[in-house]
A and B are shown apart, each in its own frame.
Chain A
Amino acid sequence: MSKHTTPDGVERGLGCLVPKSFPTSFVPFADAPGVTILTMDQIRAKLADFKAVNYYNRRTVFSKKWISNQHSTSACNGHSCARALSKSLYIRSGVETLLSGADAYSQMNGGQDNGSTLADGMTIIQRNGVSTEALVPWDHIYSSQISAEAKAVRSRYKGFELYAADDEAQFATGIFYGFVGVVAVHVAGGYDRQDGDGVCQGGNGPGNHSVGIDDIGILSDGRIVYDQFNSWGPEWGQDGRTRLVWSQHLATTVKYHRFFLLRSGLDDPEGNNPPASAS
């Protein structure tokens, strides 16, 4: 398990594991019935019309308080999955619930702090759900540390209709349609630094760190950028974020890890939901 010390001096575990075999049990977005996958030229043209670096203004919608912090654990995948689910639920309902990266990780790590895979995250979001940060703080990464009450809360927060995205066209189409994604990046070199456009300056490799993507945009030079939210606290990067370019940061990692999109979520059964209509 490799480590990375961020500018704030915290040594963090790079816990996004390359699966032993590429997971094949997930439906690709391109195979979802009725989906139209846009070409990159189409997406570029549409983004250019809006001249938007952040097409959905997600940096305003999701302020710094939405950036989680895995601290010294290797729970990046848990945090990216939990935050992606929180955001997906918020977009469809306006209800803010910060879900626990530690709880998600505890369901995937086999009782050790040695990381997890994106595919496992995709599974637990749909099958089990994730508990809240209020009940499971960052350092409760083992199942034995998590209360029965917290475990019971998991089923209240679940994703619905998640799809794998195996190439840029699929992934970019999903983000362009407003879905939230989870990807793997490779932390190396100048990963902690951004250029004048906010683009991450490091990271070419098979992928060792899991992050979320919640927006898409286009730079003045025509490059499409994906807005990444990290789990290293709000002081890292630009308020906890950086921008990624597919060719520079994701084209290699997508070959080793199953990127995915959260298209929707389910109602909290104990939440304030629209009542049934009588007729």
Chain B
Amino acid sequence: MRGTYRAASLALVLGLSSLVAAAPQQPPVSDISIPQPPIERIPKPEPRTDAVVRLASDQLYVIDAKIECVVRAHPPGLVKISKKKGPRDISARFVDGSGGIEDRTYAGPFIYFVQTAGSKSGRVALDIIPLGLKSEAQIVSTEIDVVPDLSPAPDPKPKPDPEPKPKPITGVAWIVVIEETDQRNEQTARVLNDTLYWKGLESRGIKYRFYDKDSPDLKGKNFDSYQTIDPQGQSIRRKYADELGLPYLLFLDATAYKIKAVPLPKKTSDIDKILNGEAP
């Protein structure tokens, strides 16, 4: 369900409406006068005791502003910044979100996306500088830890619930099954040939497709593997078949973002349980 998202965050005097997942939290600039380094500074990543937002490669850091700004990151090369017009509906994993795909509306009219630029990790200092700047106090500064791997950013405030329950998957546009057709067995056959079930998914806005792992249609789709970071910090690809076996099932959003990957369930009703958050 779409809704208007408003983050509790710093509001500039000149109307910077929200800084999504501002960490550390900064009080209204008008109320505080704090020394700000010059704009041309080259910051050193000083250790901080307070929590810093972590940005993974599959996440968005969104700046929502009522006034036009320049957003600069130091050092260069760790993040890329893009400017968008608002208001805008966005479906994504947000750095301050629940970990899954969420739908949010940002009012704008000036919206800035901060995303990882590649495979390098490190701490980035971010300066948000309103155009027509009258004083350096109007600059909003924060820091982000860039960690470009597939894992969602861990919650900086771990919840006390020791047994987190699965949540419904939202934003699914496609369910794709990859199998080795030569090795189809009775159980797989019953799931894949429950055609009335699969067609019924259309009423939920979900389309489906089955592929043999050797199908030429799979070339370039990245349905066979995913990108992650190995312990040495190198970007690598891992094959789903190695981790899940064949056949496996991918839940994709409309942009083919892989929301979830699981072994093919034993029954089509088990697929519904995953969609509904009744099973992992």
Interface residues of A (CB under 8 A from B): 32-36, 46, 56-57, 60-61, 90-94, 160-161, 176-178, 263-264, 266-267, 272-279
26 of the cross-chain contacts (CB-CB < 8 Å) are A34-B182, A34-B183, A36-B185, A61-B196, A90-B195, A91-B195, A91-B210, A160-B212, A160-B215, A161-B181, A161-B212, A177-B186, A178-B189, A263-B212, A264-B215, A272-B207, A273-B209, A274-B207, A274-B209, A275-B256, A277-B223, A277-B252, A277-B256, A279-B150, A279-B222, A279-B258
Cα–Cα distance between A32 and B183 once the two chains are bound (Å): 9
Flag if A93 contacts B193 (CB, 8 Å): no
Flag if B252 contacts A274 (CB, 8 Å): yes
**Given B182, B207, B208, which contacts A32 in the complex, CB threshold below 8 Å?**
B182
Nearest-neighbour CB distance to chain A for B118, whole angstroms, equals 12
Cα–Cα distance between A248 and B49 once the two chains are bound (Å): 82
Cα–Cα distance between A63 and B38 once the two chains are bound (Å): 74
Instruction: Say whether B113 faces chain A, with CB atoms less than 8 Å apart.
Output: no
Flag if A273 contacts B192 (CB, 8 Å): no
Which residues does chain B contribute within 8 Å of A160, judged by CB atoms? 212, 215
Interface of B is mostly: mixed
Interface of A is mostly: loop
Interface residues in B206-227 by Cβ distance below 8 A to A read: 207-212, 214-217, 220-223, 226-227
**Given B58, B185, B207, B220, which contacts A279 in the complex, CB threshold below 8 Å?**
B58
Which residues does chain A contribute within 8 Å of B138, judged by CB atoms? none
Flag if B176 contacts A60 (CB, 8 Å): no
Cα–Cα distance between A278 and B174 once the two chains are bound (Å): 15
Interface residues of B (CB under 8 A from A): 57-58, 150, 174, 176, 180-186, 189, 192-193, 195-196, 198-199, 202, 207-212, 214-217, 220-223, 226-227, 252, 255-258
Task: Give the number of A-B contacts (CB < 8 Å).
Answer: 98
Task: Name the residue of chain A whose CB is nearest to the CB of B215.
Answer: A160
Flag if A94 contacts B256 (CB, 8 Å): no
**Given A34, A35, A161, A264, which contacts B210 in the complex, CB threshold below 8 Å?**
A264
**Given A34, A56, A272, A273, which contacts B193 in the complex, CB threshold below 8 Å?**
A56
Which residues does chain B contribute within 8 Å of A275, judged by CB atoms? 221, 255-256
Which residues does chain A contribute within 8 Å of B199, judged by CB atoms? 94
Task: Name the residue of chain B whose CB is nearest to the CB of A50.
Answer: B190
**Given B180, B183, B186, B209, which contacts A267 in the complex, CB threshold below 8 Å?**
B209
Cα–Cα distance between A46 and B207 once the two chains are bound (Å): 30
- List 14 extra interface pairs beyond A161-B214, A274-B256, CB under 8 A: A34-B182, A57-B196, A91-B192, A92-B192, A92-B211, A160-B215, A177-B186, A274-B174, A275-B221, A275-B255, A276-B220, A277-B257, A279-B57, A279-B58
